[in-house]
Amino acid sequence: MLFKKLIRTIGRYKAQFISMIIMVGLGVGIFLGFNIEWKTLEVNVAKAFEDTGFADYRIVNERGFSEEDLKKIESIDGVDAASRFLSVNVPRKDDEDIVMLTVSENISVSGFKVLEGTPYDPDDAEGLWISERYAKQNGLSVGDTYTMVYKSLEFSGPIRGLVKSGEYMICLVEKAQLMPDHEKNGFVYVSPAYMKAKVGMTFYPQIHVRSDLPKETMIDRVEAALGKSYMIVDKELVTSYAEAHGEMTEGKTMAALLPVIFLAIAILTMITTMHRISISEKTQIGTLKSLGFKDRRILRHYAAYGLFISICGTVLGVVLGLGIGYFFINPNSVMGDYLDMEHWELHMPLWSIAVVIMINVVLVLATLYSVASMMKGTAAEALKPYAPKAMRRMWIEKKKVWKDLSFATKWNIRDILRHKSRSFMTLFGIISCMLILIASFGINDTLNSYIDDFFENSICYKTKIVLDTEQAGDADVAALIDRYEADWTSSMGVQIGENTYAMEIYGLEHEYFRFVKGHGEHIDLPDDGVLICERIAKKEGLKVGDTFTVSVYGTSEKYDLKVADIAKSISESVMMSDTYAGKLGVNYQITELFTNETEIEESPIISSTQTKQALLDTFKSFTELMNVMIVMLVFISVLLGIVVLYNLGIMSYAERYRELATLKVVGFKDRHISRILIDQNLWMTILGVLVGIPAGIGVLKILLVMLASDYELTLTIKWLTYLIATALTFGVSFIVGVMVSRKNKDIDMVEALKVAE
């Protein structure tokens, strides 16, 4: 019989029940969705690295490693496997595509997995194993012939297999590139036999190592084995590893931040709503008690309400969570564009199931807590209707201004203060809505400003020419600079203490490359000091005016450099002018040219070219990823606002039903009463917006630190963002206010004439 009561009560309070189910569903869904996101990445990325023998260390020597060097590395205690490795960017013949031509002597290290075609054969001197993603985008199949041009040599051969490689999981051919372009870029593996057959020799500037040794030990042992210090890059600095793990960290951060807001709202809404429902049910609770039902039985009955909500909410949440997980992590998603990996099956951390169970327990306990307070005392006491707290005069009522307020204002002020938990929840809902809107639009503003700083203000050239440093003599480079009226840069690896950075020397006669700081302010490259990027400044504790020492990799050269200013940079670099480099006597070789010419003739000293437009195009995909996230967050925050405010609005309406009916009976028109209700909503919204703005900025600051510490982002929020976020929040509040106040028309005035139970 009590089951029938359960069903009918749910029907009676269906708006509240539906709101709570949606809230729990949103909370659980977002919690699971973000946890599924990072866990799926973790499992599938690890599998991709494992399948293709992703190396833990890369030892770099631009002059190349001999077979003997390799043997010495292989013999180091703690090295599981090692392979000499070559990867160079080469253009496809008669095309703008750039692929990374790769040779790994021992394919079990930094190798690949064949998805289609024949397995790798180290003695195959003709075939190519090509990136499956790139092949699909370009209509290439196994058996087709593919041709690249490198150092005026044609590298051609039949495609033996379509493959994936952990090394190129994030296939970026250019350091300033943020998103891969699978149509224009890919990778091609060939065997050492192939290279020998085409070039007559093999040249390996890297040795890739699989080893569990810590970095310091590895550095010491490599130095001891080779008798010289080399630049050793651990996997955490390799784009594929770093960025994929960065995505996981972002997912973990989002999973730790966002769901907390939603779950907190779900639990608080549950407590507030169940309290309200149990107030309405108080005399029924008393009746059941007086009929002889034991407290435990009654509590069990009411626990079923909480259980019903939490189970329905959890089911909805699981569906939503899987949906969110799939939305972010599937081969056709923006993440699918970013990461080139084989497996995309969704995975969920096991402990998240325990958390969801805990959430259910908390929700049921919240229900029990609300009901238990109504059951206190004897059956006779429980039978009495709920007596709200008596009104007391507040301090503000003693002020003169109080007398001048309209009755509606006084009524609303007292109602807010009288129903503190409801008011707090309303405020919390509005603040959360505003906070998410400000933070998500703010991310967009910050990224756009970042892109503007770098690609509108910094990059002023039309084409970048990457030189083949082995072929390019000083005279050839000088001729090219003259011919294309080019600016230039030279890049080398340096160490500051234990840390590895890039040092870039610039010759900027035409200002095709400019430096920015803060909010895009232009700074000149000084002749008596260097610019360092914000990350180096932070990591090394350097400030303007400080002097620090860099040692150039592979040499005994050391330079004392003075920090002239702190600039923004995509890579972690020390930037200096050619004049300053000249003063210090730095040895360098020009590696890249910047020009306004777009027609660049083929030349043996040019390794590749890249247009600014091609670079900008990759950002479109990057901003698309952000936009997808922002649209989802905006949708969620608006939904959150509507559900919370509607639920609380309905509750407030139910609590004031009798008063509203009285107003109607004494002659207040529906729209007058609606205005009073909407007024209260608007006050709460104003307050929520005022608190939500700084809260949103605070959350955005945290997000930027946690999610994007690899980029030198400057928190930027445009006025339009404040305007849109405020308008959306007010819009939500107003729409819900109108939805609730429309119910005024249905107030049964005759009911108001009846004696209260």
Footprint on this chain of another protein (rule: CB under 8 A) = 388, 390-393, 406-407, 410-411, 414-415, 418, 658-659, 661-670, 672, 745, 749-750, 752-756
Structure token pair of residue 576: 């200096």
Contacts of residues 253-258 at CB distance under 8 Å and 24 or more positions apart, as own/partner, are: 253/703, 253/706, 253/707, 254/34, 254/37, 254/707, 255/31, 255/34, 255/35, 255/37, 255/38, 257/699, 257/702, 257/703, 258/30, 258/34, 258/436
Nearer to another protein, 500 or 662 (CB): 662
- What CA–CA distances, in Å, run from 67 to 74, 205, 207, 232? 10, 12, 10, 18
- Minimum gap (Å) between residue 307 Cβ and another protein: 33
CA distance 373 to 382: 10
Return the biggest CA–CA distance within the chain: 104
- Minimum gap (Å) between residue 391 Cβ and another protein: 4
- Minimum gap (Å) between residue 644 Cβ and another protein: 23
Nearer to another protein, 475 or 750 (CB): 750
- Minimum gap (Å) between residue 426 Cβ and another protein: 17
Structure token pair of residue 168: 């190129």
CA distance 189 to 168: 11
- Minimum gap (Å) between residue 393 Cβ and another protein: 7
Nearer to another protein, 190 or 752 (CB): 752
Q: Which residues contact 334 (CB under 8 A, 6 or more apart)?
A: 621, 624, 625, 628
Alpha carbon 81 to chain centroid, angstroms = 34
- Minimum gap (Å) between residue 742 Cβ and another protein: 13
- Minimum gap (Å) between residue 21 Cβ and another protein: 30
Please say whether the beta carbons of 4 and 292 come within 8 A: no
Alpha carbon 308 to chain centroid, angstroms = 34
Nearer to another protein, 401 or 666 (CB): 666
Nearer to another protein, 260 or 417 (CB): 417
Nearer to another protein, 275 or 664 (CB): 664
Nearest to 154 by CA among 128, 180, 116, 122: 128
Contacts of residues 681-684 at CB distance under 8 Å and 24 or more positions apart, as own/partner, are: 681/426, 681/645, 681/649, 681/733, 681/734, 681/736, 681/737, 682/730, 682/733, 682/734, 682/737, 683/412, 683/416, 684/416, 684/423, 684/426, 684/427, 684/430, 684/733
Structure token pair of residue 97: 């595509």
Alpha carbon 522 to chain centroid, angstroms = 29
Nearer to another protein, 616 or 749 (CB): 749
Nearest to 104 by CA among 126, 119, 82: 82
- Minimum gap (Å) between residue 403 Cβ and another protein: 10
CA distance 432 to 236: 35
- Minimum gap (Å) between residue 736 Cβ and another protein: 22
> Which stretches of 333-386 are DSSP H helices?
334-338, 350-375, 379-383
Please say whether the beta carbons of 147 and 155 come within 8 A: yes
CA distance 686 to 427: 10
Nearer to another protein, 198 or 418 (CB): 418
Please say whether the beta carbons of 105 and 97 come within 8 A: no
Nearer to another protein, 201 or 390 (CB): 390
| Helix-helix angle 239-280:282-291, to 10 degrees | 70
- Minimum gap (Å) between residue 30 Cβ and another protein: 37
Nearer to another protein, 188 or 678 (CB): 678
Nearer to another protein, 597 or 670 (CB): 670
- Minimum gap (Å) between residue 672 Cβ and another protein: 7
Taken as a whole, the chain contains a residue count of: 757
- Minimum gap (Å) between residue 252 Cβ and another protein: 47
Nearer to another protein, 87 or 652 (CB): 652
Structure token pair of residue 157: 């051969």
Nearer to another protein, 357 or 749 (CB): 749
Nearer to another protein, 280 or 611 (CB): 280
Please say whether the beta carbons of 134 and 78 come within 8 A: no
- Minimum gap (Å) between residue 676 Cβ and another protein: 11
Nearest to 580 by CA among 505, 507, 528: 528
- Minimum gap (Å) between residue 445 Cβ and another protein: 43
Nearest to 55 by CA among 174, 194, 210: 210
